[in-house]
Structure 1
Amino acid sequence: MQSLNAIIVDDEEFARSSLYFLLQENCPGINICGIAKSVSEARLLLQNNNIDLIFLDIAMPGDNGFSLIPQAQAANATVIFTTAYDQYALKAIKANALDYLLKPIDIDELVAAVKKADHYHLFNQANTQSRNESLKNLEKDLKDNKGINKITLPSGQGYRLVEIDEIIHIEADSNYSIFHLVSLEKITVSKVLKDFEEILPDDKFVRIHKSSIVNLKYVKEYNNKNGLVLLLKNGESITVSRRRASDFFEKIKVYTKTTP
């Protein structure tokens, strides 16, 4: 592992000291250049040091963690968010394929996140722009608090930022997920379907089978002649499993009532 210069940004003294201790004990390649208890202190550290990695708390008094994002982008520093559990914030972070650690921080998860950051700095610097777009989109999602509108998909050695309204359905293929888009393009991602089931808004997307998630916007019709089958607007037909049929009916009923 290469040596990475890092800073810790957190307003809680215990959180700062415990993370510092965990990094010292378990991540010998991390060189802590400074510890900040506010965004203003973190900005000074970024100005005066060559920083590769930022462990960034989200909820802080005054400026929250997202206000540091422009400086992080300018420094080409990888951000690992450290946060107490917040369902919406966590969903938004996952949707943008960004790294996070839940407090209290687990040692194995910390080591894995650091290894991922190390790999990014070795091989993926060319994709800094796409990572920065994901950071900006995350900030917008959390600021607007209106739901997730875009999702970041790892694609080859880079990332694709996709509007969720462009997704017709997602198909499972072993440990991979295949996204079928309005453009007829297909994007294969090395994550299981359940990961996206947890991220995508459940008022628009529904798991209809162990191998399928559909966007209700693109359901053209459905019938029960030979088991429940959906006809999508792109011409594809997908079977709904028996045990998921009631969930589909509930969601399509609500969706048709609330959508113009």
Structure 2
Amino acid sequence: MIEVVLIDDEKDSTETLDILLKAKFPDIQVIAKFNEPLAALEFLQKNHFDLLFLDIEMPTLNGFDLLREVQKDDFEVVFVTAYDQFALKAFKYSAFDYLLKPVDLEDLTTCIAKYEEKKLQLKARLEHLQKMVRQSGSGIDKIAVPTSQGFEFIEIKDIIRCESDGNYTRIFFINQSPMLVSRTLKDFDELLEDQNFVRVHQSHLISLKYLRKYVKSEGGYIEMQDGTQITVSRSRKDELLNKLNFLTFN
């Protein structure tokens, strides 16, 4: 699923684009629409999304100024405007694409197809990197995760846990802020299966290195070194205990 945000000071424009996307592109989910750029700023800062369809000429804050205020770069921007003279400047802002109003369905289809192709290429490159890492032996100490610019290599020893967030995974570290990655928890489970990680719940993968305690009461839960408490699902309990070499009694 591709999560999309629409920003345009003209309500008719956001509504029309919303209708087009929902009618023609089943893999698109419009998660937010804004007709006031200042109101959109906080949402953009705090939430994950894949594509931003952004008008340029808007009162109070134009599209270029809005992008300068957003302190993140894990998304692609498609400028949507009635003025083609902004095209050169838009691509200087690393725009993924540029659509003229009124938005033509063929142009929109090409834009979405290009984005999907880019995602597939990134996925293929990441899978290749992961395969190379696995083949290099058990002494690996880093994994590659996709970003909007390519890949970032992170130290396995710094990962406390991974938590599912839909089709994404949020990685928690011992010494830095969490990172939201466009890969499923299943992908990380497979990648880290030989690195002393264990899946304790459908939504949680933990590093045994940072496990503080396991409590059998109340159905069973664990506590990590960062204080996070996670319920151990019944179907995952035996795997956890086997990894810890615990002896259980009926």
TM-score by length of 1: 0.44
**What TM-score, normalized to structure 2?**
0.45
Task: Please identify which structure carries the higher helix content.
Answer: 1
The structure that has the greater radius of gyration is 2
Greater length-normalized contact order (CA 8 Å, ≥ 6 residues apart)? 1
